[in-house]
Structure 1
């Protein structure tokens, strides 16, 4: 389905709003501003996101109990083709993330040919469900992250993740940003046909919501962050160190736009 066709097929159900946060302040802002869900990671700007600490997960789960915390499991920056040590680290992070209060995990990995690493993807979801069962839980979400945007065959990857039981896919449609990937996003939602959630993310701003929502995606994902200068010094990131913070104004604007609330 092309984007122009999707405009005529979209319905009135609004997408879920997910905010990527990096600390407890961000989680608190997202809940108070009216977001629907959060993803928690660390080092978002420099690396694209890494696994947060046990303490960060626990505190964010406590600060935003209405939203739950989707926790990124990613051991390093760079490409998504992982060796055995990378995979072992990520699998080892599943249990503590769930013990700390994660309501879902955000994972991914590819093989050397650019396809979903099926064995690793299966190990991740099986490990998550086993650990959830051990904790007496049965409601763990599994999101496949933007490794999806560099697969060699999006439809094949989509069907693979559906067959493995994943909850959703975070994607820009393979484009540099979600607004640039609207045709592919419309195509993905058409192919998914409700069997897996499609969440648009990557370079999203509130002003892009209307066009991207028209593709029929189930959710919108944005970092809503701003950067502040910090005194670094030796061992602290240098004299011009920068800190990423969740911007409450952007989150509130995103909620306002998504809900169609008029400007005050």
Structure 2
């Protein structure tokens, strides 16, 4: 079992790095669930940490349907930070909340040879099993999801089915309300190999070192 920590500032990234996280997801925009961090922040985190570093590519909060200008910004951001990262996190939907395979494939091609996670835009889809097949076909290595519910506990039955249907073709990474207090029970039900948490315990935007260590100890 491996643990990815979502970090919204360089300080959190350093805490995750020093506390044994297996991967860092670096974002800005905590209040809207994550947006693309500034390039100088990406460089700073890369310089200060040794942990595998994935970076969010999302130009704004809100929905996951992007204008031509926003999509052009996403493409440019991938190319700008690519020299400093180990992978990316993004996802594009159509207005009807289906997977925009064309645009996702374009971003995947720009990211290569680095891997990409399809983020929790996945939780907006109405048909998660068919959406899973589509993002596998796009070339994503991981999908971050709460099982299309508001948190991983409510989504556990769907997460279990997704893990089974993925059959090691893609990593299904549960995330959304994941804490050390519920990870063991969730893992018993879902049986995933990678889990995602912000490890924020006090309402701030700062990861908690003890919470990261507790998550790792369960793993």
Q: Bin the TM-score by the shorter chain.
A: over 0.9
What is the RMSD computed on CA atoms of the aligned residues?
A: 1.4
Answering whether residue 209 of structure 2 is matched by residue 248 of structure 1, we say yes
Alignment check: 8 A CA contact 2:2 2:216 kept: no
Aligned-partner SS, 2:186: helix
Distance (whole Å) between structure 1 residues aligned to residue 131 and residue 81 of structure 2: 26
Distance (whole Å) between structure 2 residues aligned to residue 43 and residue 164 of structure 1: 26
What stretches of structure 2 of length at least 5 have no aligned partner?
Answer: none
The CA deviation string for residues 68-104 of structure 1, in whole angstroms up to 9 with x for no partner, is 21000000001111121221111111011112x1100
Aligned with residue 36 of structure 2, among 20, 29, 51: 51
The CA deviation string for residues 149-192 of structure 1, in whole angstroms up to 9 with x for no partner, is 01121111111111121100000000100111110000001110
The structure having more radius of gyration, on CA atoms, is 1
The number of equivalent residue pairs is 218
Distance (whole Å) between structure 2 residues aligned to residue 90 and residue 151 of structure 1: 21
The match for 1:35 is: 21
Select between 80-89 and 115-124 the one with higher mean Cα deviation: 80-89
Distance (whole Å) between structure 2 residues aligned to residue 89 and residue 226 of structure 1: 33
**CA deviation after TM superposition for structure 1 residue 227, in Å:** 5.3
Distance (whole Å) between structure 2 residues aligned to residue 92 and residue 35 of structure 1: 28
TM-score, L = length of structure 2: 0.95
Aligned-partner SS, 1:159: helix
Answering whether residue 89 of structure 2 is matched by residue 106 of structure 1, we say yes
Alignment check: 8 A CA contact 1:170 1:199 kept: yes
Alignment check: 8 A CA contact 1:61 1:68 kept: no
Structural mapping, 1:59-138, within 5 Å: 59-65=44-50, 67-99=51-83, 101-129=84-112, 138=113
TM-score, L = length of structure 1: 0.79
The match for 2:181 is: 207
Alignment check: 8 A CA contact 1:178 1:203 kept: yes
**CA deviation after TM superposition for structure 1 residue 249, in Å:** 2.1
Structural mapping, 1:7-18, within 5 Å: 15-18=1-4
Distance (whole Å) between structure 2 residues aligned to residue 54 and residue 60 of structure 1: 10
The match for 2:134 is: 160
**CA deviation after TM superposition for structure 1 residue 23, in Å:** 2.0
Aligned-partner SS, 1:185: helix
What stretches of structure 1 of length at least 5 have no aligned partner?
Answer: 1-14, 130-137, 229-242, 259-264
